[in-house]
Amino acid sequence: MYLIIMGVQGAGKGTQAAAIKERLNIPHITSGGLFRAMKDQDTPLARQVQAIMARGELVPDDVTIQVVRERLMQPDAARGFILDGFPRTRPQAEALDALMADLGQQITAVLYLHIDDDEAVERISGRLQCTLNEQHIYHRRYNPPRTEGVCDVDGGRLFTRDDDQPEAVRKRIAEFHHKTRPLLDYYRERGLLREIAADRPIEAVTEAILQTLQADQAE
Ligand code: AMP
């Protein structure tokens, strides 16, 4: 299955992609991750990408398309993938269609995890991260640590990331709507968009995704 997962920050893309990846045995490919992996390379392209990312801007389409294209040509992506963070612009979506045509394949479905903006702000701004390990994440209300301010796993101090402050979160959410709305329409027009209500417990959302995909296959 060739899937794209979209949604505002806090919708649970990473969590759901990890669950589906296990169930469907396909890789989870994030464009942000591909760019972050270029950090250790000392090439003109890697330096250009690092500077752009540091400014919080989008990497130009031609570079992004080339990097994603190379990744999707790897053998482990031949039977399918979950693409996260790409496409982000219309030219990227068109390039992906062209690439899929070259591979003799097409996108199976675009999963749009939907939550209200207020819920996204609540989820992200309540997030607490461990100073010792960024993968140890809590939530003030939904998943509080046993001792306030202290990581259950390693005793590290918990803190709120600067870009998780409510004002910054609202800005990122507004950007998502501004830039991504046209892509949702692009895929809706092609009959590929599957809207999933993501304001439910993690397992319920995973089940909803798998049921949607099963229903597609049964058609
Ligand atoms: P992310 O982890 O998805 O927020 O991506 C981190 C950074 O990588 C972004 O701020 C962009 O600079 C770059 N990036 C990731 N995906 C794309 C994309 N599809 N198009 C352009 N730039 C991207």
pLDDT band at 36 (very low <50, low <70, confident <90, very high): confident
* Residue of minimum CA distance from atom 11 in ligand 1: 58
**Nearest-angstrom CA–CA distance, 68 and 7:** 19
What DSSP letter does each residue of 104-147 carry, written as one string? Answer: T----EEEEEE--HHHHHHHHHTEEEESS-TT-EEETTTB--SS
Task: Evaluate whether the domain defined by 2-120+167-218 bears CATH number 3.30.450.20.
Answer: no
Write out pLDDT tens, residues 79-128: 999 999 999 989 999 999 999 999 899 999 999 999 999 999 888 888 89
Q: How far apart are CA 101 and CA 96, in angstroms?
A: 8
Strands 158-159 and 127-130, by their bridges, are antiparallel
Tell me which of 21, 90, 172, 200 is the catalytic residue: 172
Name the one residue in this structure whose structure tokens are 């939550």.
Answer: 115
> Is 39 a catalytic site residue?
no
Question: How many Å apart are CA 167 and CA 124, to the nearest integer?
Answer: 11
Q: Is 161 a catalytic residue?
A: yes
Q: Kindly report the protein residue whose alpha carbon is nearest to atom 2 of ligand 1.
A: 32
Atom index in ligand 1 nearest the CA of residue 88 equals: 19
Q: What pLDDT, on the 0 to 100 scale, is given for residue 6? A: 96
Nearest to 92 by CA among 179, 171, 209: 179
What is the value of pTM for the model shown?
Answer: 0.85
Percentage of the chain surpassing pLDDT 90? 60
Residue 39 reports pLDDT greater than 90: no
